[in-house]
Structure 1
């Protein structure tokens, strides 16, 4: 793992991000002390959200949505919303 200073990170951020996107992890130092480590993501965004508790794993495959029966109604979404809001 390579190490760069805060100033180098600020001045060469595009190059640093290219290196990280290519798989390299980089330590950032500030006054000689390690302040941060930048590394490429290890999983998908969904995996990260699940790990943070902001999402949950689906109980079935997305193809299950194709089996959902659709029903047509005579009321539009706008009419349903207007009815739910009521009169002020």
Structure 2
């Protein structure tokens, strides 16, 4: 993984984004301290599932379609069916 400072990212954003499109990942630093990770989007949108902190609610990325409700899937896994 490459490292780029916040200033370099601002000044060379076009080149950095071209490299990301080609598969490169970057660790972004501010005053030498890592603050972010810049990487290509995963091909599988379900890889981007997130759990809204403190709510216990799963949030799907925009554009993903889920054939079953979370409750149905959990019931099946628990053997409630």
* TM bucket, shorter chain: 0.5 to 0.7
Relative to its length, the structure with more strand (as a share) is 2
The answer on 1:11 being equivalent to 2:33 is no
Across the two proteins, how many residue pairs are aligned to each other?
Answer: 57
Instruction: Give per-residue Cα distances to partners, 1:62-83, cap 9 Å, x unaligned.
Output: xxxxxxxxxxxxxxxxxxxxxx
Which structure: larger Rg?
1
Structure 2 unaligned residues grouped into runs of 5+: 50-58, 69-81
Tell me what 2:38 maps to: 38
Deviation at residue 43 of structure 1 after TM alignment: 2.2
Q: Which of 60, 66, 75 is the matching residue for 1:53?
A: 60
Structure 1 unaligned residues grouped into runs of 5+: 60-88
Alpha carbon RMSD of aligned pairs, Å? Answer: 2.2
Tell me what 2:23 maps to: 23
Tell me what 1:69 maps to: none
- Normalised TM-score (structure 2): 0.58
Three-state SS of the structure 2 residue aligned to 1:27 is strand
